[in-house]
Amino acid sequence: RSQAHMRLCDLALDPVPEVRTAMLHALTSFLGIPDVTDQVAYIEETIASIILAMANDSSVMVRKELLVFHSTFIARYKNKFIVAAYEQFTEEHAAHLAQDASIHRPATPSEANGSYDSKRELTFESYNTSSRGSMESAASKNTVFSAMWKQILIISADPHPEIARNAGIILDNVLGALFDSPLAVYSAGWTNKTPAFGRPPSSAITHPIYKF
């Protein structure tokens, strides 16, 4: 009985899509425990990490239900996803700055001669120098929250229009919460300079279609 959630997770590999969908629905209901103790959080994070692979499921029905789980999980741990989103875009901004720096930096003789290795080392060195501090101190790095956030970004480009739209709504709401959080002060300098951040329309962030 105490391992019921793990028995449900075993159904992620069931050959019948209806069974996989029902499993996700049951696991979503499992997230309703009011008091989030350390043990409850550990179990829920374990469940989330196991079903992340289902984003590649060939069944549209399964992927739709997976988004329902994701939206419920994100609403439950919204502050952690705000941090994950902030850190991910900070990292992208650092990489963007490093790329600009490598383009405008005067070329050395070896670079001027077209040495691929020297150019590659320059790019990597610039990126590491610019982003090392933010990456090493990232609170969400290598967590299920960071992995799920990046997965939502990918699902927002799902070939099925309804799935892509629903994932976009989740993204807009997390970003809207980010701009309403204390981290908004620190993100003001790069929201318009990071290419990936131009995705959500401002109207969707100000007036989200779906509220958690």
Instruction: Count other Cβ atoms within 10 Å, centred on residue 16.
Output: 10
The model's pTM is: 0.73
**Secondary element (H or E) of residue 163:** helix 161-179
Question: pLDDT tens digits, residue range 132-156?
Answer: 444 445 565 679 999 999 999 999 9
pLDDT average, residue stretch 201-209: 36
> Binning pLDDT at 50, 70 and 90, where does residue 2 land?
low
Question: pLDDT tens digits, residue range 89-104?
Answer: 888 766 766 666 666 5
The sign of the torsion formed by the CA atoms of 18, 19, 20, 26 equals positive
* Interatomic CA distance for residues 21 and 59, integer angstroms: 9
Residue 122: is its pLDDT beyond 60? no
> Binning pLDDT at 50, 70 and 90, where does residue 128 land?
very low
Please state whether 59 falls in left (phi above 0), alpha (psi between -120 and 50) or beta.
Answer: beta
Question: pLDDT tens digits, residue range 22-48?
Answer: 999 999 998 988 888 999 999 999 999
Output b/e per residue, 6-15; b: 16+ Cβ within 10 A.
eebbebbeee
* Interatomic CA distance for residues 41 and 35, integer angstroms: 9
Residue 188: is its pLDDT beyond 70? no
